Amino acid sequence: MNSFDLSSPEFHSIRYKVYSDLRQKEPVYWYDKMNTWLIMKHDDIMPLLKSDLLSTDYLIHEKINNTPKPLDPNIDYISQTIKQWMIYNDAPTHTRLRKYMNSVFSKEHITGVKPVINQIVKEKISNTDLSKSFDFVSNFAHPVPAQILSQMIGLDVISLDKFIAWSDAIADFMQDFVVSPTPNKTIAKETVKDLYDMKNAFKTAIEESKNGSKQNLLGDLVSGLGNGDDQINEDELVLQLIHLIFGGHKIPQFVMGNYIHCLLKNKEILDLILNNENPPIFPIVEEVMRYESPIQFITRHAKEDIVIRGKKIKKGDSVFLMLASANRDEDKFDAPEKFNPFRTRGRHVSFGGGIHTCIGASLVNTELKEIFEQLFKGVNSIKAEYDLENPIWTNNATFHGIKEQSLLLA
């Protein structure tokens, strides 16, 4: 294999060629730059996601063990925070936390948030001068999911700018934490300030929620504290909510920008959206999740020695499950390099799988469908005023989305 760097800006232009080459030539690949195995094929990734062979909780231990001692207090504080997120825990802790948080992601709760989404999008559209070109990312894709999540949780008393800044700070730290051999002290120092702010804000909101009558996700979660065998305490709830800010904002943001980009690159699909009273919004969301995966890979560690395609992955080894590669696997998808919302074979793995399947997957799908249904009403044309062939992508190895996206709607 030719040398490549997952973290370099140049990688955006070659990523899918690299993924394809690895799937064909070395689908289980030792990647020296990050001291990890890259697992490229759908049929290898899905069983691993559903098995008990890999762990999510070792990442924090590995990074802390690699960090020079004495340990920076900011890095220690963040590691103590994120290691209590459900995503970085295996059973039984993960089971207990997920069961509790799942209670507010029921179909009833998600249906109930639709009017909130519609109102936010309508207000955003009315406050945007669509007769002039505007940046879709900064005007819609970045703030709208944050505003929806803020109101849904019950943090609408916090300024939207602060809410977004918190989410961005966590994303910056997690990007560095995942791909760097050791965490960056400067990034950690800035993130700690935001973590303190988030914890204080959530604790205040929880206290207010105990005595309030507002109906929101936070109120439902607080009302269940201390009830039943799956109970969690208030501090654990605060930490899960911090993770929810991060995941519930960033994934919709990236998918929204990627969605518009894919439409503009595929005029026949764009025409179908704009000239149809009942446009196929959701099938396009699904295909965007496959074609331009918002999360390129997820990290795990081997709990025991594993042999895959003749390669021995040793106990404790880091493993990157390359979801974006699995989503373009020739053995699972017909013409995977073609954008086709109406494909009949294959299903994307962008939400992961097994016990760590994205808890907010249904909410994200509902949210995106409602946002685009509102956005496309009365729109006859969408013109790109950015370089469609060379867009500016986020400089992030893990997360994949358009960074700037100037549009003109008519």
Taking only the tens place, the pLDDT of each residue in 381-404 is 999 999 999 999 988 888 899 999
- How far apart CA 89 and CA 317 sit, in angstroms, is 17
* Total domain count, the chain: 1
Task: Report if residue 2 sits inside a domain.
Answer: no
**Does the pLDDT value for residue 407 go beyond 90?**
yes
* Higher-scoring residue by pLDDT: 198, 26: 26
Q: Phi/psi of residue 121, each to 5°?
A: -65, -40
pLDDT on residue 93: 87
Contacts of residue 358, defined as CB under 8 A and 6 or more positions apart, other chains included, come to 247, 251, 351, 352, 364
Task: Report if residue 3 sits inside a domain.
Answer: no
Task: Report if residue 127 sits inside a domain.
Answer: yes
Going by C-alpha positions, the residue among 317, 284, 282 that lies closest to residue 303 is: 317
pLDDT on residue 304: 94
The CATH number assigned to the domain holding 274 equals 1.10.630.10
Domain that holds residue 256: 9-409
Identify the top-confidence range among 125-134, 137-146, 160-169: 137-146
pLDDT on residue 227: 64
Task: Report if residue 130 sits inside a domain.
Answer: yes
Buried b (16+ CB within 10 A) or exposed e, 223-246: ebeeeeeeebeeebbbbbbbbbbb
Query: What are the structure tokens assigned to 237, written together?
Result: 């709830």
**Does the pLDDT value for residue 329 go beyond 90?**
yes
pLDDT on residue 229: 60
User: Are 393 and 403 contacting, i.e. CB atoms less than 8 angstroms apart?
Assistant: yes
Task: Report if residue 225 sits inside a domain.
Answer: yes
pLDDT on residue 7: 86
Task: Report if residue 239 sits inside a domain.
Answer: yes
pLDDT on residue 334: 95
Residue linked to tokens 């999510």:
56
**Does the pLDDT value for residue 205 go beyond 90?**
no
Task: Report if residue 148 sits inside a domain.
Answer: yes
Q: Please, which pLDDT band fits residue 180 given cuts at 50, 70 and 90?
A: confident
Residue-averaged pLDDT of the chain? 87
Task: Report if residue 220 sits inside a domain.
Answer: yes
Range 129-133 contact pairs with CB under 8 angstroms and sequence separation of 24 or more = 130/409, 130/410, 132/408, 133/385, 133/406, 133/407, 133/408
* Higher-scoring residue by pLDDT: 38, 223: 38
**Does the pLDDT value for residue 67 go beyond 90?**
no
Whole-prediction pTM: 0.91
